[in-house]
Amino acid sequence: MKTLTKSMKPLSKSDYVIGLECPGHLWMKYHDKENIPPHPPGVLKRFEQGIIVGNLAKKLFSEGIDIPTEDFRKNLEKTKELLTKRITLFEAAIQVDNLYGRADVLQPVNKDQWDIIEVKSSTKVDKKEHYPDLAFQRYVYEKAGLKIRKCFLIHLNNQYICEKEMNVQQLFLTEDLSAEIEKIMVEVPENIEFLWKIINSPHFPNTIEKNHCRAPKTCLIKDRCWSFLPEHHIFHLYNGRKNRKMFDEGIHALTNVPDTALSNHQQVIQLQCQKSGEVYIDKIKITEFLATIQEPMCHLDFETCSFAVPQFERTRPYQRIAFQFSLHVVGKGTKKHFEYLHDGADDPRLQFLAALKKMLPAEGSIVVYSQGFESSVLRELARDFPEYTEWVAFVLKRMVDLRVPFSDFSYYNPKQKGSASIKKVLPTLTGKGYEEMAIADGDCASIAYVDMTFGKMSAAMKKKTREDLLKYCELDTEAMVRIVEKLRKIVL
Report pLDDT digits (tens) over 303-361.
999 999 999 999 999 999 999 999 999 998 899 999 999 999 999 999 999 999 999 99
Span 70-92, mean pLDDT? 94
- Residue 414: give its domain's CATH number: 3.30.420.10
* Under 8 Å between Cβ of 402 and 484: yes
CA distances from 160 to 22, 56, 167, 310, 344 (A): 34, 15, 9, 9, 25
Instruction: Give phi and psi for 23, each to the nearest 5.
Output: -55, -30
In the chain, the number of structural domains is 3
* Under 8 Å between Cβ of 465 and 261: no
CA distances from 459 to 25, 269, 355 (A): 40, 51, 25
Span 2-11, mean pLDDT? 62
CA distances from 248 to 24, 204, 221 (A): 19, 20, 21
Least confident of 88-97, 434-443, 474-483: 434-443
Quick one: 236 and 372 in the same domain? no
216 in a structural domain: no
For β-strands 113-119 and 334-341, DSSP reports them as unpaired
Cis peptide before 296 (omega within 30 of 0): yes
Element (H, E) at 298: strand 297-305
Quick one: 168 and 308 in the same domain? no
Quick one: 352 and 272 in the same domain? no
Span 230-246, mean pLDDT? 87
Span 90-100, mean pLDDT? 96
From the list 246, 285, 311, 287, the residue with the least C-alpha distance to 453 is 311
469 in a structural domain: yes
Whole-number Å distance between alpha carbons of 123 and 102 = 22
Higher local confidence (pLDDT), 3 or 41: 41
214 in a structural domain: no
Whole-number Å distance between alpha carbons of 363 and 399 = 11
pLDDT band at 207 (very low <50, low <70, confident <90, very high): low
pLDDT in the model for residue 6: 45
- Rounded to 10 degrees, what is the CA torsion of 337, 448, 18, 174? -100
Quick one: 489 and 348 in the same domain? yes
Quick one: 131 and 242 in the same domain? no
Question: Does residue 1 register a pLDDT over 70?
Answer: no
306 in a structural domain: yes
pTM for this predicted structure:
0.91
pLDDT band at 76 (very low <50, low <70, confident <90, very high): very high
2 in a structural domain: no
Quick one: 336 and 451 in the same domain? yes
pLDDT in tens, 246-262: 888 889 999 999 988 88
Quick one: 456 and 411 in the same domain? yes
Quick one: 251 and 340 in the same domain? no
Q: Which residues, including other chains, have CB under 8 Å from residue 30's CB and lie 6 or more apart?
A: 4, 8, 9, 199
CA distances from 421 to 264, 344, 362, 473 (A): 19, 32, 29, 16
211 in a structural domain: no
- Residue 19: give its domain's CATH number: 3.90.320.10
Give the structural domain span for 252. 226-278
Amino acid letter, residue 121: S
Quick one: 429 and 452 in the same domain? yes
pLDDT in the model for residue 392: 98
CA atoms lying within 13 Å on the CB side of residue 393: 6
Percent of the chain whose pLDDT exceeds 90: 82
Q: Which of 253, 278, 303 is the last residue of a domain?
A: 278
pLDDT in the model for residue 3: 45
pLDDT in the model for residue 208: 67
Rg over CA atoms, the chain:
27
Higher local confidence (pLDDT), 259 or 287: 287
pLDDT in the model for residue 2: 41
CA distances from 163 to 60, 166, 312, 426 (A): 18, 6, 8, 43
From the list 269, 286, 266, 285, the residue with the least C-alpha distance to 485 is 286
Whole-number Å distance between alpha carbons of 31 and 21 = 18
Higher local confidence (pLDDT), 226 or 401: 401
Instruction: Give phi and psi for 88, each to the nearest 5.
Output: -65, 130
Quick one: 397 and 456 in the same domain? yes
Quick one: 454 and 374 in the same domain? yes
Quick one: 138 and 232 in the same domain? no
**Averaged pLDDT of the chain:** 93
pLDDT in the model for residue 210: 56
